[in-house]
Chain A
Amino acid sequence: MGNTTTHADIEFEMPAASKQSVSVSVKDLDLRFGSLQVLKNLNLDIHEGEFLVLLGSSGCGKSTLLNCIAGLLEISDGQIFIKGRNVTWEEPSERGIGMVFQSYALYPQMTVEGNMSFGLKNAGLPKSEISERVSRASEILQIEPLMKRKPAALSGGQRQRVAIGRALVRDVDVFLFDEPLSNLDAKLRADLRVELKQLHQRIENTMIYVTHDQVEAMTLADRIAIMKDGIIQQLASPDEIYSKPANLYVADFIGSPAMNLLKGVVANGTFTAHGVSVPLSGYDFEKPFEGPAWFGIRPEHVAIGDAANASDTQLTVKAEVVDPLGSDTLVMARLSDERFWLRISGQSKVKIGDELKIGFSAVDASLFDQSTEIRL
């Protein structure tokens, strides 16, 4: 349970590139709307220069948390620190943040230049400084030819670039992104995702990024915080989230198709379910456990055909559904009365009804306690 909810014990997992000082710190945050508790005693430390992604399905409180950090929502309890300064009672503009919204939120009656300089004018900066910052940001984002246009005359991708530029000119320590790519089409989304990553590598600011898209989360993040019902379920690197999910929810949420889960019992170093028995000698238990458990294995960790000979457990299943994706093919079989997905090479010719020899080992698996749903 070391990597759930708490914040102090994460630092040793940080990528070497990022510095260790804390940039944004959320302490004991509570948020209630009337009787509805949206965020519950939430603690989160974000390191300087880190790219943190808040991931979760809609209604999990991830956008709400971002709005709290930005100061756009008044919190019910707790504190927020940015760069060691307590900003809990400060206005959004005083917190040293820049924010990018899903709907771009560009001021429709102002030109691109006007949009980008609006915040600086409000801050009372001298004209020369404003134009210098705006031109620098527009150069970084390559939107210089658009400066005199109004938002209505821009495409979706250009609008979002301008919105990023508006955050960039503020010269702040922390950038907040609220699902910035969700309104774009698939191709543009992929392009802008790469650009965002490059932007982060170039300016090295702290970035907090809210999304419900796991691909965005996995590709962009230094660390991902997976949220559900206002609670952070797991805060770890994308790799760890994927290979060692902290609980059943995270295991099921991350990965497409989702992790195969079998319901059974752990006893005498073996997991047993209906028709399946897996020796657990290779599994790294957090602490010794016996009793009812979930056994989870990702589709790509299931070996097919001759490759299965090396696995601890070997079985034969029948292909019920075949989904060719080009690069690889997904096959749905049935194991222990549960749907069981396999990811095989796109070259292999599997037809519905084919008998497949499969195998997997406990090394690649995740085990969860059935009562607490926490990783074993």
Chain B
Amino acid sequence: MADATTNAVTEARGPKPRRVFSSTNIIIYGTLLVVCLYYLLPLYVMIVTSLKGMPEIRLGNIFSPPVEVTFQPWVKAWSEACTGINWDGLSRGFWNSVQILVPSVIVSIAVASVSGYALVNWRFKGSEAFFTILIFGAFIPYQVMIYPIVIILRDTGGFIGDVTGTNFRLMGSIWGLVIVHTIFGMPILTLLFRNYFTSVPEELFKAARVDGAGFWGIYFKIMLPMSLPIFVVAMILQVTGIWNDFLFGVIYTKPETYPMTVQLNNIVNSVQGVKEYNVNMAATLLTGLVPLTIYFISGRLFVRGIAAGAVKG
């Protein structure tokens, strides 16, 4: 018996036993824990502070939970805070941002996906050169293009206004910013879609052509249903990118049409009176809510899409 037991212990069989508290595990989980704390602590401080009243904040214990929970800072941030010349909080900026975001995301993804599809499956003379130029565009610093775009928006908007006899303007309007976001999203999105469509077998495209589907038929009936993950990736990139944009927002719009980020800046950096930390925290959290929600909803698809696009390039 004794022999048999020693044999069973020494002879390797089945899954290899693993120790829970091995040095590797301690290092891995220890590092993860520290990194988690590093990122989550500021968020915790923000949430806690936004729920405190000003007297409590003045006590200085930034880590302590609120003694008296109040939602007043959130209400103030949303509808009463001063954002420059107006006193209606972030609500106006939120709706401006939504009005900028929705058409920009839809138009840029629509154009980029069709371009990517055409670049892969319907090569035309110079399509490679076209693609190279497009990608090159991604490396030109934004700052170089800011003033030319101001002029372009001003003149084209003014021209359209003159022709139609209306007061139409692009510069300072939401539509001007939509156009800017669409154009600046083009290089990276086209690259994303092109790489994804390259990974779709060419024979599928050929089969669809033999089956009599044309350019749009193949796009809508074959390619589109196959590429949901990459559309989600593109959507996340665009939503977060456009929502978080500050530079274009502050340049190409005016106070009535400022996006939420610009208004947030105005609230936080306003210099009159007391610094209302709780209102600032609430306003910041409100502004960050949209990208956060998007990540939570579609995180899984995002990873899948990124992985799928990365296989072939």
| Interface of A toward B, CB cutoff 8 Å | 67, 70-72, 91-94, 97-99, 101-109, 118-119, 122-123, 163, 166, 170, 178
Give residues 177-216 of B contacting A (CB, 8 Å). Answer: 201, 203-204, 206-213
Say if the beta carbon of B299 comes within 8 Å of chain A. no
A106-B207, A109-B226 known, 18 other contacts, Cβ within 8 Å? A70-B210, A71-B209, A92-B210, A93-B209, A93-B212, A94-B212, A97-B210, A102-B203, A104-B203, A107-B207, A108-B226, A109-B225, A118-B208, A118-B211, A118-B213, A122-B211, A166-B207, A166-B211
Q: Which residues of A contact B217 (CB under 8 A)?
A: 122
- Kindly provide the distance from the CB of B124 to the nearest chain A CB, expressed in whole angstroms: 12
State whether A105 touches B204 (Cβ < 8 A). yes
State the CA gap A255–B208 with chains docked (Å). 37
| Inter-chain contacts of B222 with A (CB < 8 A) | 107
Q: Is B221 an interface residue (CB 8 A)?
A: yes
Q: Which of A98, A103, A122 contacts B213 (CB 8 A)?
A: A122
Size of chain B's interface in residues, with CB distance under 8 A?
Answer: 16
Q: Mark B208-245, 1 if CB is under 8 A from A, else 0.
A: 11111100010001100110000000000000000000
Q: Across the interface, which residues of B come within 8 angstroms of A91, CB to CB?
A: 209, 212
A129 to B22, CA, bound (A): 69
> Which residues of the other chain, A, contact B221 by a CB distance below 8 angstroms?
107, 118
Contact at A119–B203, with CB atoms within 8 Å?
Answer: no
Residues of A close to B201: CB separation below 8 A: 103, 105
In the bound assembly, the distance between CA atoms of A103 and B204 in angstroms comes to: 9
Please give, as numbers and ranges, the residues of chain B lying within 8 Å of A92 by CB-CB distance.
206, 209-210, 212
Question: What's the minimum C-beta distance from A101 to chain B, rounded to whole angstroms?
Answer: 4
Compute how far the CA of A101 lies from the CA of B204 in the bound complex, rounded to whole angstroms: 9
Tell me whether B207 and A101 are in contact (CB under 8 A).
Answer: yes
* B219 CB to nearest chain A CB (Å): 13
6 contacts between A and B (CB under 8 A): A92-B210, A93-B211, A99-B207, A101-B206, A107-B222, A118-B208
* Interface of chain B: mostly helix, strand, loop or mixed: helix
- Distance in Å from the Cβ of B251 to the closest Cβ of chain A? 43
Say yes or no: A105 contacts B226, CB within 8 Å.
no
Closest-CB distance, B51 to chain A (whole angstroms): 47
The interface residues of chain A lying within 8 Å CB-to-CB of B213 are: 93, 118, 122
Q: A107-B222, A108-B226, A109-B225 in contact; A119/B210 too (CB < 8 A)?
A: yes
- Chain B contacts for A106, CB-based, 8 A: 207
Given A118-B221, A122-B217, CB of A105 within 8 Å of CB of B209: no
CA distance A103 to B205 in the complex (A): 12
Residues from chain A with a CB closer than 8 A to the CB of B207 are: 99, 101, 105-107, 163, 166
Kindly report which residue of chain B lies nearest to residue A123, judged by CB atoms. Answer: B212
The CA of A106 and the CA of B211, in the complex, are separated in Å by 11
The residues of A that contact B209 with a CB separation of less than 8 Å are 71-72, 91-93
Asked if A93 and B225 make an inter-chain contact with CB atoms under 8 angstroms apart, the answer reads no
Chain A residues with Cβ below 8 Å from B226 are: 108-109
Chain B neighbourhood of A101, CB < 8 A: 203, 206-207
Give B18-63 interface residues, CB cut-off 8 Å to A. Answer: none
Q: Which of B204, B210, B225 contacts A99 (CB 8 A)?
A: B210
B210 and A98: CB pair below 8 A? yes
Of chain B, the residue at the smallest CB distance from A117 is B211
Measured between alpha carbons, how far is A70 from B210 in the docked complex, in Å? Answer: 8
For residue B204, which residues in chain A have a CB less than 8 angstroms away from its CB?
105, 107
- How long is the Cα–Cα vector from A48 to B213 in the complex, in angstroms? 28
Q: Give the chain B neighbours of A98 by CB distance below 8 A.
A: 210
In chain B, positions 159-192 with a C-beta closer than 8 Å to chain A are none
Q: Are B212 and A99 in contact (CB under 8 A)?
A: no
* B204 nearest CB across to chain A (Å): 5
- Complex CA gap A178/B202 in Å reads 13
- Complex Cα distance, B208 from A163, in Å, reads 12
Q: Enumerate chain B residues within 8 angstroms of A94, measured Cβ to Cβ.
A: 212
Chain A residue numbers with a CB within 8 Å of B208 are 107, 118
| Closest chain B CB from A243 CB (angstroms) | 36
Contacts of B206 in A (CB 8 A): 67, 70, 72, 92, 99, 101, 105
Distance in angstroms between the alpha carbons of A98 and B213 in the assembled complex: 14
A356 CA / B293 CA spacing, docked (Å):
83
How long is the Cα–Cα vector from A108 to B222 in the complex, in angstroms?
A: 9
Are A93 and B210 in touch, CB under 8 angstroms?
A: yes
Q: CB within 8 Å of A: which of B259-298?
A: none
Q: Tell me the complex Cα distance, A79–B80, Å.
A: 76
User: Which residues of chain B (238-257) have a CB below 8 Å from chain A?
Assistant: none
Cα A170 to Cα B211 in complex, Å, equals: 8
Cβ contacts under 8 Å, B203 to chain A: 101-105, 178
Bound CA span A171–B209, Å: 16
